[in-house]
Amino acid sequence: MPVRDALATSQKLFAQVLRWYPPGFRQAYGDQITQVFRDCSREALESAGTRGLISLWLSTLPDLFKTALQEHFRQIGETMTNLMSNPKSRILIATLLCLPMATLSLLDGLGLGLSLPASAAPLPMLMLLAGLALFGAPVGKSLLFGLLAVLPFVGMELVNRRDYGEDFPYVLFGGMWFMATLLSAILIPIARDLRGGKVFDTNLAALAVRGVLLVVIGIGFFSLLADQMPCFLGVRHCD
């Protein structure tokens, strides 16, 4: 293949590879990168012919792929940073994250509960916790307070049912811990705002979402607690 044809084909291929990069990056640096690669391609062809051009491509492609991925991740990071710095966008994202669990809890309260696959069951709860974190909930403290709220019932279970030869209900207490964590994640920011006299400065949409979640999760937690209390007190065949 003549040098000119090989160079033209290489440049056409490079123009397609350059599409891996985000549009903003191509607009800012595309011409410069294309010129550098054209010069390198010309030198490779002049020094080693087609074999030199192929070698250039083999050494360049992995780096192009790597930097293209890095640019996409960087752009996603900048977009998320901009969204999180905007209070309205932050509240919208937090609300959307909280919505699946709130909807499932509401349907369950109405007797229309949906059964999720076991592998997908934790997802709405984790989304809810992430949403509450965006609303300003301290996740670490919430996990600690949730654990402290459940520990007394763990103690009751261990003491009052130790002679029944039953397996410890890890799933039950794990669920109770998570629900208590969610309640703590809702209540801590509200208590903080009340203590600072800022409760009326809080965004009304965020306050409304917190209120709805507090009622829905609170009803679920205390209903579960009331249902399991005979077991915690040692009543045989309580389920």
- pLDDT for res 203: 62
Same domain, 103 and 62: no
User: Average pLDDT for residues 150-173, to the nearest whole number?
Assistant: 86
14 versus 111: which is more confidently predicted?
14
110 with 16, same domain: the answer is no
Residue that the structure tokens 């994202």 belong to: 93
Mean pLDDT over 29-34 rounds to: 89
pLDDT of the residue at 153:
92
116/44 same-domain check = no
Q: Is residue 43 part of a domain?
A: yes
- Tell me: do 7 and 94 sit in the same domain: no
Give how many domains the chain has, as a whole number: 2
Q: Is residue 239 part of a domain?
A: no
Q: Say yes or no to pLDDT of 113 above 70.
A: no
Confidence check: pLDDT of 205 > 70: no
Q: Which two tokens stand for residue 151?
A: 């520990």
In a shared domain, residues 109 and 207: yes
Stretch 36-52: mean pLDDT = 86
**Domain co-membership, 99 together with 126:** yes
Domain with 184, as residue range(s), is 87-232
Predicted local confidence at residue 198, as pLDDT = 63
DSSP states of 162-210: TTTTPPP-HHHHHHHHHHHHHHHHHHHHHHHHHHTT-GGGS-HHHHHHH
Are 131 and 17 members of one domain? Answer: no
**Cα(184)–Cα(127) distance, integer angstroms:** 16
Same domain, 124 and 167: yes
Task: Give residue 199's pLDDT.
Answer: 55
Looking at per-residue confidence, does 236 or 87 come out higher? Answer: 236
- Mean of pLDDT values over 166-187: 84
pLDDT (tens digit, 9 = 90+) per residue, 65-86?
Answer: 899 998 888 888 887 777 667 6
Same structural domain, 131 and 207: yes
- 25 and 94 share a domain? no
Check residue 151 and give its pLDDT.
92
- Mean per-residue pLDDT over the chain, rounded: 80
Question: What is the pTM for the complete model shown?
Answer: 0.54
pLDDT given at position 159: 87
